[in-house]
Chain A
Amino acid sequence: MSLSKIFDISGSAVSAQSQRLNVVASNLANVDSVADADGKTYRARQVVFQAQSVGQPNQAADNGTAGVKVAGIVEDQSPLRTVFNPQHPMANEQGYVEMPNVNVVEEMVNMIAASRSYQNNVEVMNTAKSLLLKTLQLGS
Protein backbone atom coordinates (compact mmCIF):
# COMPACT_ATOMS: atom_id res chain seq x y z
CA MET A 1 0.00 0.00 0.00
CA SER A 2 2.01 2.90 -1.24
CA LEU A 3 -0.07 5.89 -0.15
CA SER A 4 -0.06 4.90 3.51
CA LYS A 5 3.74 5.21 3.49
CA ILE A 6 3.22 8.95 3.06
CA PHE A 7 2.09 9.07 6.69
CA ASP A 8 5.42 7.59 7.77
CA ILE A 9 7.37 10.01 5.58
CA SER A 10 5.47 13.17 6.45
CA GLY A 11 5.07 12.08 10.05
CA SER A 12 8.83 11.81 10.44
CA ALA A 13 9.20 15.25 8.88
CA VAL A 14 6.59 16.76 11.20
CA SER A 15 8.29 15.37 14.27
CA ALA A 16 11.71 16.54 13.04
CA GLN A 17 10.35 20.04 12.40
CA SER A 18 8.71 20.15 15.80
CA GLN A 19 12.04 19.23 17.38
CA ARG A 20 13.62 22.08 15.43
CA LEU A 21 10.88 24.36 16.77
CA ASN A 22 11.66 23.09 20.27
CA VAL A 23 15.34 23.95 19.86
CA VAL A 24 14.43 27.43 18.61
CA ALA A 25 12.21 27.89 21.66
CA SER A 26 15.05 26.81 23.92
CA ASN A 27 17.45 29.23 22.21
CA LEU A 28 15.03 32.13 22.50
CA ALA A 29 14.22 31.32 26.12
CA ASN A 30 17.91 31.23 27.02
CA VAL A 31 18.89 34.40 25.21
CA ASP A 32 20.13 35.91 28.49
CA SER A 33 21.20 32.76 30.38
CA VAL A 34 24.73 33.45 31.54
CA ALA A 35 25.02 30.03 33.18
CA ASP A 36 23.52 26.61 32.43
CA ALA A 37 23.52 23.54 34.70
CA ASP A 38 27.33 23.19 34.38
CA GLY A 39 27.96 26.84 35.17
CA LYS A 40 28.97 27.63 31.57
CA THR A 41 27.31 30.20 29.35
CA TYR A 42 24.48 28.83 27.21
CA ARG A 43 25.38 28.35 23.55
CA ALA A 44 22.85 28.43 20.70
CA ARG A 45 21.86 24.98 19.46
CA GLN A 46 20.94 23.83 15.97
CA VAL A 47 19.36 20.59 14.77
CA VAL A 48 20.96 18.57 11.96
CA PHE A 49 18.51 16.82 9.65
CA GLN A 50 19.28 13.59 7.85
CA ALA A 51 17.32 11.60 5.27
CA GLN A 52 16.28 8.19 6.57
CA SER A 53 14.53 5.31 4.84
CA VAL A 54 11.12 4.38 6.17
CA GLY A 55 9.51 0.96 6.44
CA GLN A 56 11.29 -2.36 6.90
CA PRO A 57 15.05 -1.88 7.20
CA ASN A 58 15.85 -5.09 5.28
CA GLN A 59 13.86 -3.94 2.26
CA ALA A 60 16.44 -3.00 -0.35
CA ALA A 61 14.06 -1.48 -2.89
CA ASP A 62 13.14 1.85 -1.35
CA ASN A 63 12.13 3.46 -4.64
CA GLY A 64 13.93 6.65 -3.73
CA THR A 65 11.61 7.68 -0.91
CA ALA A 66 12.97 8.84 2.42
CA GLY A 67 11.75 10.32 5.67
CA VAL A 68 13.67 12.69 7.93
CA LYS A 69 15.31 12.22 11.27
CA VAL A 70 17.22 14.54 13.54
CA ALA A 71 20.80 13.25 13.31
CA GLY A 72 21.95 15.37 16.21
CA ILE A 73 21.92 18.74 17.91
CA VAL A 74 25.09 20.80 17.60
CA GLU A 75 26.15 23.77 19.70
CA ASP A 76 27.08 26.97 17.93
CA GLN A 77 30.85 27.45 18.45
CA SER A 78 30.95 31.09 17.39
CA PRO A 79 32.32 33.54 20.01
CA LEU A 80 30.05 34.53 22.88
CA ARG A 81 28.63 38.01 23.19
CA THR A 82 30.46 40.05 25.87
CA VAL A 83 28.77 42.79 27.87
CA PHE A 84 30.55 45.23 30.17
CA ASN A 85 28.91 44.94 33.59
CA PRO A 86 31.39 44.93 36.53
CA GLN A 87 28.61 44.54 39.13
CA HIS A 88 27.50 41.20 37.67
CA PRO A 89 28.50 38.15 39.77
CA MET A 90 29.65 36.31 36.63
CA ALA A 91 31.86 39.17 35.43
CA ASN A 92 35.57 38.43 34.78
CA GLU A 93 38.54 40.53 35.96
CA GLN A 94 38.04 43.08 33.19
CA GLY A 95 34.37 43.47 34.17
CA TYR A 96 32.95 41.68 31.13
CA VAL A 97 30.11 39.13 31.30
CA GLU A 98 29.89 36.43 28.61
CA MET A 99 26.34 36.27 27.24
CA PRO A 100 24.90 33.50 25.00
CA ASN A 101 25.64 33.69 21.26
CA VAL A 102 21.95 33.39 20.37
CA ASN A 103 21.05 35.55 17.36
CA VAL A 104 17.42 36.47 17.92
CA VAL A 105 16.78 37.45 14.28
CA GLU A 106 18.22 34.17 13.03
CA GLU A 107 16.13 32.23 15.51
CA MET A 108 12.94 33.99 14.44
CA VAL A 109 13.69 33.21 10.79
CA ASN A 110 14.40 29.61 11.78
CA MET A 111 11.10 29.47 13.65
CA ILE A 112 9.09 30.74 10.67
CA ALA A 113 10.86 28.31 8.31
CA ALA A 114 10.19 25.40 10.66
CA SER A 115 6.54 26.31 11.04
CA ARG A 116 6.09 26.61 7.27
CA SER A 117 7.71 23.23 6.70
CA TYR A 118 5.50 21.76 9.40
CA GLN A 119 2.40 23.15 7.72
CA ASN A 120 3.56 21.83 4.35
CA ASN A 121 3.86 18.32 5.68
CA VAL A 122 0.51 18.47 7.45
CA GLU A 123 -1.01 19.52 4.13
CA VAL A 124 0.65 16.56 2.43
CA MET A 125 -0.80 14.20 5.01
CA ASN A 126 -4.26 15.74 4.61
CA THR A 127 -4.15 15.24 0.84
CA ALA A 128 -2.92 11.65 1.23
CA LYS A 129 -5.68 10.99 3.73
CA SER A 130 -8.44 12.28 1.48
CA LEU A 131 -7.05 10.30 -1.48
CA LEU A 132 -6.91 7.14 0.63
CA LEU A 133 -10.47 7.65 1.86
CA LYS A 134 -11.64 8.10 -1.72
CA THR A 135 -9.78 4.93 -2.72
CA LEU A 136 -11.51 3.04 0.06
CA GLN A 137 -14.88 4.04 -1.40
CA LEU A 138 -13.95 2.62 -4.80
CA GLY A 139 -16.82 0.77 -6.47
CA SER A 140 -19.53 1.89 -4.07
Chain B
Amino acid sequence: MIGKLDAELQLHSDALRLRGQRQEMIASNLANADTPNYKAVDFKFADALRQAVGGQGPSSPSTLARTAVGHMNSDGSRSGSAPTQVLYRTPTQASVDGNTVDVDVERAQFADNAVRYEASLRFLNGKLKTLLSAIQSQ
Protein backbone atom coordinates (compact mmCIF):
# COMPACT_ATOMS: atom_id res chain seq x y z
CA MET B 1 0.00 0.00 0.00
CA ILE B 2 2.82 2.37 0.90
CA GLY B 3 4.44 1.51 -2.42
CA LYS B 4 1.26 2.48 -4.22
CA LEU B 5 1.10 5.74 -2.30
CA ASP B 6 4.65 6.45 -3.32
CA ALA B 7 3.91 5.64 -6.97
CA GLU B 8 0.90 7.96 -6.84
CA LEU B 9 3.05 10.90 -5.80
CA GLN B 10 6.23 9.93 -7.67
CA LEU B 11 5.70 11.88 -10.88
CA HIS B 12 4.82 15.19 -9.30
CA SER B 13 7.48 15.00 -6.63
CA ASP B 14 10.09 14.31 -9.32
CA ALA B 15 8.73 17.19 -11.38
CA LEU B 16 8.86 19.44 -8.34
CA ARG B 17 12.45 18.51 -7.58
CA LEU B 18 13.53 19.12 -11.17
CA ARG B 19 11.68 22.42 -11.31
CA GLY B 20 13.53 23.43 -8.17
CA GLN B 21 16.84 22.48 -9.74
CA ARG B 22 16.03 24.42 -12.89
CA GLN B 23 14.96 27.43 -10.82
CA GLU B 24 18.32 27.29 -9.09
CA MET B 25 20.16 27.10 -12.39
CA ILE B 26 18.33 30.11 -13.83
CA ALA B 27 18.99 32.01 -10.58
CA SER B 28 22.69 31.37 -11.03
CA ASN B 29 22.47 32.64 -14.61
CA LEU B 30 20.84 35.84 -13.37
CA ALA B 31 23.38 36.16 -10.57
CA ASN B 32 26.21 35.96 -13.09
CA ALA B 33 24.67 38.38 -15.58
CA ASP B 34 27.73 40.66 -15.24
CA THR B 35 30.47 38.06 -14.82
CA PRO B 36 32.96 38.01 -17.70
CA ASN B 37 33.23 34.67 -19.56
CA TYR B 38 30.29 33.14 -17.71
CA LYS B 39 28.21 30.85 -19.96
CA ALA B 40 24.48 30.59 -19.29
CA VAL B 41 23.37 27.03 -18.47
CA ASP B 42 20.09 25.12 -18.51
CA PHE B 43 18.87 21.56 -18.93
CA LYS B 44 16.11 19.91 -20.93
CA PHE B 45 13.29 19.49 -18.47
CA ALA B 46 11.38 16.89 -20.51
CA ASP B 47 14.41 14.62 -20.85
CA ALA B 48 15.30 15.01 -17.19
CA LEU B 49 11.79 14.14 -16.06
CA ARG B 50 11.62 11.16 -18.40
CA GLN B 51 14.91 9.96 -16.98
CA ALA B 52 13.75 10.47 -13.40
CA VAL B 53 10.41 8.72 -13.87
CA GLY B 54 11.43 5.95 -16.25
CA GLY B 55 14.77 5.45 -14.55
CA GLN B 56 16.57 5.70 -17.87
CA GLY B 57 17.16 8.35 -20.45
CA PRO B 58 16.41 8.03 -24.14
CA SER B 59 20.03 7.25 -24.96
CA SER B 60 20.82 4.73 -22.20
CA PRO B 61 18.86 1.52 -22.68
CA SER B 62 20.54 -0.34 -19.82
CA THR B 63 22.12 0.79 -16.57
CA LEU B 64 24.39 -0.97 -14.13
CA ALA B 65 23.20 -1.45 -10.57
CA ARG B 66 24.93 0.75 -8.01
CA THR B 67 25.39 -0.97 -4.66
CA ALA B 68 27.33 1.76 -2.85
CA VAL B 69 27.09 5.54 -2.69
CA GLY B 70 30.52 6.05 -4.23
CA HIS B 71 29.74 4.00 -7.35
CA MET B 72 29.49 5.81 -10.63
CA ASN B 73 26.56 5.48 -12.98
CA SER B 74 27.19 3.49 -16.11
CA ASP B 75 27.18 6.69 -18.12
CA GLY B 76 30.05 8.03 -16.04
CA SER B 77 28.11 10.54 -13.92
CA ARG B 78 28.48 10.49 -10.17
CA SER B 79 25.26 11.12 -8.28
CA GLY B 80 22.12 9.15 -9.00
CA SER B 81 19.77 12.07 -8.48
CA ALA B 82 21.67 14.47 -10.73
CA PRO B 83 19.67 15.88 -13.64
CA THR B 84 20.59 15.12 -17.23
CA GLN B 85 23.62 16.79 -18.66
CA VAL B 86 23.87 20.53 -18.21
CA LEU B 87 23.68 22.35 -21.52
CA TYR B 88 24.89 25.79 -22.51
CA ARG B 89 22.51 28.30 -23.98
CA THR B 90 23.07 29.46 -27.55
CA PRO B 91 23.66 33.20 -27.33
CA THR B 92 21.57 35.41 -29.58
CA GLN B 93 23.40 38.64 -28.73
CA ALA B 94 26.78 37.68 -27.33
CA SER B 95 28.64 40.35 -25.40
CA VAL B 96 32.29 41.29 -25.85
CA ASP B 97 33.36 39.98 -22.42
CA GLY B 98 32.35 36.39 -23.29
CA ASN B 99 29.21 36.40 -21.16
CA THR B 100 26.22 34.66 -22.76
CA VAL B 101 23.50 35.58 -20.24
CA ASP B 102 20.50 37.32 -21.79
CA VAL B 103 18.75 38.84 -18.78
CA ASP B 104 15.37 39.13 -20.53
CA VAL B 105 15.38 35.49 -21.59
CA GLU B 106 16.44 34.37 -18.15
CA ARG B 107 13.79 36.45 -16.41
CA ALA B 108 11.11 35.06 -18.69
CA GLN B 109 12.32 31.51 -18.09
CA PHE B 110 12.49 32.18 -14.37
CA ALA B 111 8.90 33.42 -14.22
CA ASP B 112 7.72 30.54 -16.42
CA ASN B 113 9.52 27.99 -14.29
CA ALA B 114 8.10 29.51 -11.10
CA VAL B 115 4.57 29.17 -12.43
CA ARG B 116 5.20 25.57 -13.48
CA TYR B 117 6.71 24.83 -10.09
CA GLU B 118 3.54 26.13 -8.49
CA ALA B 119 1.45 24.03 -10.88
CA SER B 120 3.33 20.90 -9.80
CA LEU B 121 2.79 21.96 -6.22
CA ARG B 122 -0.97 22.23 -6.78
CA PHE B 123 -1.13 18.85 -8.52
CA LEU B 124 0.68 17.33 -5.58
CA ASN B 125 -1.60 19.10 -3.14
CA GLY B 126 -4.66 17.86 -5.01
CA LYS B 127 -3.39 14.28 -4.94
CA LEU B 128 -2.70 14.55 -1.23
CA LYS B 129 -6.16 15.97 -0.59
CA THR B 130 -7.75 13.13 -2.59
CA LEU B 131 -5.81 10.49 -0.70
CA LEU B 132 -6.62 12.17 2.59
CA SER B 133 -10.35 12.26 1.90
CA ALA B 134 -10.19 8.61 0.82
CA ILE B 135 -8.75 7.47 4.14
CA GLN B 136 -10.92 9.70 6.31
CA SER B 137 -14.15 7.80 5.42
CA GLN B 138 -16.53 10.71 5.60
Residues on A lying within 8 angstroms of B by beta carbon are 2-3, 5-6, 9-10, 12-13, 17, 20, 48-51, 60-61, 63-68, 113, 117, 120-121, 124, 127-128, 131, 134-135, 138-139
Which stretch of B50-58, B61-69, B118-126 is in the interface? B118-126
Smallest beta-carbon distance B13→chain A, Å: 10
Asked if B30 contacts A121 (CB within 8 A), the reply is yes
Asked if A2 contacts B24 (CB within 8 A), the reply is yes
Asked if B117 contacts A121 (CB within 8 A), the reply is no
Q: Which residue of A lies closest to B43 (CB)?
A: A64
The 0/1 profile, CB within 8 Å of A marked 1, for residues 47-88 of chain B is: 000000000000000000000000000000011001100100
Smallest beta-carbon distance A51→chain B, Å: 5
Known: A9-B31, A121-B31. A134 touches B24 (CB 8 A): no
Asked if B31 contacts A67 (CB within 8 A), the reply is yes
Q: Is B20 an interface residue (CB 8 A)?
A: yes
Asked if A139 contacts B31 (CB within 8 A), the reply is no
Asked if B41 contacts A134 (CB within 8 A), the reply is no
Q: Considering the complex of A and B, which 6 residue pairs feature the smallest CB-CB distances, nearest first?
A: A13-B31, A64-B86, A2-B20, A65-B28, A64-B41, A49-B35
Given the complex, which residues of A lie within 8 Å of B24, measured CB to CB? 2-3, 5-6, 9, 63, 65
Q: Which residue of A lies closest to B42 (CB)?
A: A64
Besides A9-B31, A60-B78, A67-B31, 8 new A-B residue pairs in contact (Cβ under 8 A), listed by A number: A3-B23, A49-B32, A49-B35, A61-B78, A63-B21, A67-B28, A67-B32, A120-B33
Subset of 12 A-B contacts with CB under 8 Å:
A9-B31, A10-B27, A10-B31, A13-B32, A51-B32, A61-B82, A63-B82, A65-B25, A67-B32, A124-B110, A127-B110, A131-B117
